[in-house]
Amino acid sequence: MSRVGATLSQNLALAEHLQSLAKQGTATDAQVDQIRVLAGKLSADEGTEIRQVLKSLQISDTARAHIDEYMLDQLEKRLESVAHSKSVGDVVSAVTLGLTVVGVPVLNHFLAISGLDSDVSLATNAVQFALLAGEYLGGYAAVRAVGAHFKKSDYGEQD
């Protein structure tokens, strides 16, 4: 069981507690409750480690019910967090696409008004294409930046 807690580099206190419990093979209700305190917002790695240790522990039915309820509650919160991050990214993507859809025809309209000859028209089409590509890639970067700012998908990693 030396691998217990090996993936919990961001929560060493929980890793040590789980290693201790795994060596004992049993845990009191207070020791199981301590898992909840040490984990806080439960990350995916913490959940995996806790499940692995709990499989081998002899604990009371009450303690098992409490820790299972906590883990389920934290899973639901993590899923809500991921859904929120996705919705923010979707909004930014929609705004970027909308700007592209409106911006390119407006640019075409103003260029057509100026009555440019065909050589300049080809050059302006190339510029429009570059703007479109830049807006798309810039929009992707904006989605990532906004997503990182509002990111909750690493639920529990930083608590």
Q: How confident is the model at residue 32, as a pLDDT? A: 93
Question: Domains of the chain: which residue ranges?
Answer: 12-73, 82-149
What is the average per-residue pLDDT within 120-142? Answer: 68
Whole-angstrom Cα distance, residue 137 to residue 97? Answer: 11
pLDDT value of residue 2: 47
Could you tell me if 4 and 18 are in contact, meaning their C-beta atoms sit under 8 angstroms apart?
Answer: yes
In this prediction, residue 78 carries a pLDDT of 81
Q: Please report the pLDDT score of residue 121 as a whole number.
A: 63
User: Which carries the bigger pLDDT value, residue 124 or residue 54?
Assistant: 54
Place of tokens 């199981």: 32
For the chain, the average pLDDT equals 76
What one-character DSSP code corresponds to residue 10? T
Can you give the pLDDT at residue 149?
Answer: 64
pLDDT category of residue 114 using cuts at 50, 70 and 90: low
Most confident of the following: 2-6, 116-120, 143-147? 143-147
Report CA-CA distances (Å) from 38 to 16, 18, 51.
10, 10, 15
CA distance 109 to 116: 12
Question: Rounded to an integer, what distance in angstroms lies between the CA atom of residue 8 and that of residue 42?
Answer: 11
Helix pair 29-39, 12-24: axis angle to 10 deg: 160
Kindly report, residue by residue over 7-41, the tens digit of the pLDDT.
Answer: 677 888 999 999 999 999 999 999 999 999 998 88
Question: Does the pLDDT at position 155 exceed 50?
Answer: yes
Between 54 and 147, the more confident residue is 54
Whole-number Cα distances in Å, 104 to 21, 90, 109? 63, 21, 9
pLDDT in the model for residue 1 = 42
